[in-house]
Amino acid sequence: MPASLQGPLRPTVNRFKLGGFEVATILDGVSIRDRLHPNFGGNASAEDVHALARANNIDTERFEHCYTCTLVNTGKELVLFDTGNGNLARDIEAMRGRLPIGALVEQLAVLGHKPEDIDVVVTTHGHPDHIGGLTDGGKPVYPNARYVFGAAEFDFWKKGENVREARKGNRELFVKRCVPLADRSTFIDPGQDVVSGITAVDAFGHSPGLLAFHVESEGKRFMITADTCTQYVMAVQRPDWYFDMDDDKDRAVASRKRILDMLATDKLPFVSFHFPFPGVGYVEREGAGYRWTPHSYQLSL
């Protein structure tokens, strides 16, 4: 009797110990995008972008975009970084077919957590796939949480000045989903702590106030880099190549190089929001750029 084909199946949660903390990366969803170039390497030729893709055994035209949120359990508080897509694809016509329906709440349940359990929700930046799951039907999805935003990021989107045309809809979404949370929010700058052991790092460029986060417990270190690098080959091996969705492309390049240099120098494991799930790995210097090595068992011993 023929067996039915059931399609691809991938892991959706990943958890490991970091000193006295536990860190979990959670797959909110996946989309497949067309046009590797000029989405990546807009300041390079299509031939160069396609050659790099072939050299790394990835498709020259299409690319996979994962959406990976991170949960840090400090033993005292559950701190969630980004809320994924939520129901944007259901609620906003322009998002249908572009973003998946978010699965974050469902996957938190796999880890044994309910939305009511989350103590702190950190938004790394205000792009739709990071804020879509903050509210649903006008109500906070994480009703007991304190919210944390980068001060520069929140101020930019709230004021709405110098928002590029492609981000006008993004600004409307931010005003609707984030601004109403202001009275229960904390606004931080690079160098300030979310909670003890979790410190904001300047990653400005992809968005006006993008923050990465350094996590440290009992001498063990880890970084949450959000959208500093948005593709594990294009943005890492050629950090000077533009990414179309970077709001300030030159500043994004500078932040990318600075953070990649720190990760390589200090041999820090990190998670990147759009890398292949579980999104955790290391970088090492290679030529004029870097190379990403995915986590295997290093953090599980």
DSSP the chain: -PPPP-------EEEEEETTEEEEEEEEEEEEES-HHHHB-TTS-HHHHHHHHHHTT--SS-EEEEEEEEEEE-SS-EEEE----TTHHHH-GGGTTTSPPP-HHHHHHHTT--GGG--EEEES--SHHHHTTSEETTEESSTT-EEEEEHHHHHHHHHTTT--GGGHHHHHHHHHHTGGGGGGEEEE-TT-EEETTEEEEE-TTSSTT-EEEEEEETTEEEEE-TTSS-STTHHHH-TTS-BTT-SSHHHHHHHHHHHHHHHHHHT--EE-TTSSTT-EEEEEEETTEEEEEE-SSTTT-
- What domain range is 73 assigned to? 14-294
pLDDT of residue 21: 98
pLDDT at 175 over 80: yes
Question: What residues pair up with 213 in beta bridges, in sequence order?
Answer: 200, 224
For β-strands 139-140 and 135-136, DSSP reports them as antiparallel
pLDDT tens, position by position, 41-71? 999 999 999 999 999 999 999 999 999 999 9
| Separation between Cα atoms, residue 58 and residue 84, nearest integer Å | 25
* pLDDT > 70 fraction of the chain, expressed in percent and rounded: 100
Question: What residues pair up with 289 in beta bridges, in sequence order?
Answer: 286
- 9 within some domain: no
pLDDT of residue 104: 98
* pLDDT > 90 fraction of the chain, expressed in percent and rounded: 95
278/288: higher pLDDT: 278
Q: Judge whether 294 and 82 are in contact, CB under 8 Å.
A: no
Confidence of residue 110 (pLDDT cuts 50, 70, 90): very high
| Separation between Cα atoms, residue 9 and residue 243, nearest integer Å | 29
Calculate the dihedral angle through the C-alpha atoms of 121, 127, 131, 136, rounding to the nearest 10 degrees: 170
CATH code of the domain covering residue 208: 3.60.15.10
- 300 within some domain: no
pLDDT tens, position by position, 15-27? 999 999 999 999 9
Return the closest-CA partner of residue 234 out of 203, 214, 260, 266. Answer: 260
Mean pLDDT score, 117-132: 98
pLDDT of residue 108: 98
- Per the structure, the count of domains in the chain is 1
Q: Judge whether 63 and 33 are in contact, CB under 8 Å.
A: yes
pLDDT of residue 121: 98
Mean pLDDT score, 281-301: 95
- Nearby residues of 13 by Cβ (< 8 Å), 6 or more positions away: 24, 25, 26, 27, 107, 110, 111
- 5 within some domain: no
For residue 115, is the peptide bond before it cis, meaning its omega torsion is within 30 degrees of 0? Answer: no
| Separation between Cα atoms, residue 270 and residue 176, nearest integer Å | 31
Q: Which of 8-12, 201-205, 206-210 has the lowest mean pLDDT?
A: 8-12
Confidence of residue 28 (pLDDT cuts 50, 70, 90): very high
- 137 within some domain: yes
Return the closest-CA partner of residue 199 out of 79, 283, 20, 104. Answer: 79
Confidence of residue 178 (pLDDT cuts 50, 70, 90): very high
- 48 within some domain: yes
pLDDT of residue 241: 98
Confidence of residue 7 (pLDDT cuts 50, 70, 90): confident
Confidence of residue 97 (pLDDT cuts 50, 70, 90): confident
pLDDT of residue 155: 98
Confidence of residue 1 (pLDDT cuts 50, 70, 90): confident
pLDDT of residue 2: 84
- As a whole number, the mean pLDDT across the chain is 97
